Structure 1
Amino acid sequence: MARSGTPRVLISRPLPDAVAQRAETLFDVEWRDSNLPMSEAEMRSALALYDGMMPTLGDKFSDKIFADFGRPRCRILANFGVGYNHIDVEAARGHGVTVTNTPGAVTDATADTAMTLLLMSARRAGEGERLVRSGQWQGWHPTQMLGLHVSGKTVGIVGMGRIGQAIARRCHFGFGMKVLYANRSAKQMDFEAEQVSMLDLAARADVVVVAVPGSAETYHLIDDAFFAAMQSHAHFINIARGDVVKEAALINALEQGQIGGAGLDVYEFEPEVPEALRRMDNVTLLPHLGTAALDVRTDMGMLVLDNLEAFFKGETPPNAL
């Protein structure tokens, strides 16, 4: 039963139990039980029927969705996730809707996923696992599946925010790697890291890791020219957003042998993964596992609730965009 004066909130995906229990104590909650993205009709309906909602990746709140409203009933989109390129923040703001996200909680988990892909791609772990499962492995020999030894090599990190710095620390302190980075501004860190241009990074790195947020400014940031500048043995890792990379250019670079391999957790047209990528042995593919740990997803959900609770108390949400 609805509680008088209690904000009515839509949660667009099932969430961990601890988050669900807290949400029920704070708001009059409507739970959407599907894990598929919201349809345009659902998004428009939600803007009209709820005081706030939790959207997430795939829920594309474009200018077109907001265009039907002057000031919708919904006044806050508390996004579940640090990335928010699926929400037109300027359009939301123009219609009186606040947008928040969940940074901080995702940093270490996403950096760990980057390292998982870095090692899997460089050491051909996915290819090796498939070989063992196929029953065709004929035993160890000195030249079997030789990969890239990453210790002491050079990593180039595109985007040196919290996640980029967490990746850099793991590479530097864990593997003794030289760190290059491309970023709009210089960063002060407790280890040596060299700021360079995008193409210089591409040309010098043995492993490239993309860690920029998805936005209009970073759309297709990684393109044909970037891949053409990379070394033929170098590996490309993306844990950012799929559309930061021009996927057709990546496929071409792999097919032409311009780069040595790739490790991907995100895709330009997610969840669609091109058959060309799926058939290549030198490509490691994960199903967007970046933050897929119970404690991390619980922390993210709690940040969503923190943002909603602050907003409805008349305070500035801690992670307002």
Structure 2
Amino acid sequence: MNTSGSSRPAAKSLNARGKLLLVWAATVLVLLGMVTAAVVRTGPAPRTDFLASLQSQWEGQPEAAPAPAASVPRAAVDVDTEIKRILAENPGYRVGVVLADTHGGEPRSYGDGTEFVAASTAKIITAAAYYHLVETGEKSLDVPLGSYDAAFQVKAMVNASSNDAWLLLMEDIGYPKLIEYAASIGISYDPEQNLLTPAEMAEVLKQLSSGKLMNAEHTQELLGYMQQTNNERLIPAAVGPDITVQHKYGELEGYVHDAALLSSGERSYALAIYTWGEDGESEERLAVIHQLTDVVARALRE
């Protein structure tokens, strides 16, 4: 019997069934893959928060900040124009203003440049004169003067504007010597009349700042007394903490003055503002002094 002929159809049938099985197996695998993928996509959140934290960090990132706008250059302060405008807007007051760069150059004067009753601003001249006599050996800060010593009286005269201390120091110096000292620094001053121009007061401050009036120790001592005085409502009230103010104010029968050194970095101005009016230290008068000071302070920051 020829067996080879009967086996070939069987092989063909087996091959067909095998192919069918392979097709079904492939189909099942595909279906299982789809189900598995669906389960993975819709399954419970993973136990770890790492991915969630990354997502939250990404979502929490701020949008890129826009490029900063180009800074606008600060306009230069036109000191002359602004001060003249302020004076013109306040014709009810007699005002004299002098601004001097302590490092040199001609001072700039505005308004009334004639003499005013100097009130207590002239106490700086008395203080400088007393320190001068101490340095020449004619006086001492340690000697009794009134109920205290001379050093106490100088501080009280400048920092607290004590008139009693002023009288004691002027009498101890002697009026003739005080007049002589003022003339030696280029100032025409008679303590019995107590008259000064704003320019003369600015000149005193300029010389004080440059160390021309006394030695370094006494200069720093006097400048220290001119800070945080018992009246900071005038020039000091119109400048920011970036500017150092050393000043001496004066008030007497309608006269309200302030004279100050304003310093920022390496720059320093002497500013004298003398005013007269019928209202004393009113809010309106203070506003005028503050406006004038603000112009100078802005110029100092340039």
TM-score, structure 2 as length reference: 0.27
Greater relative contact order (CA < 8 Å, ≥ 6 in sequence): 2
More helix by share: 2
Query: Rg bigger for which structure?
Result: 2
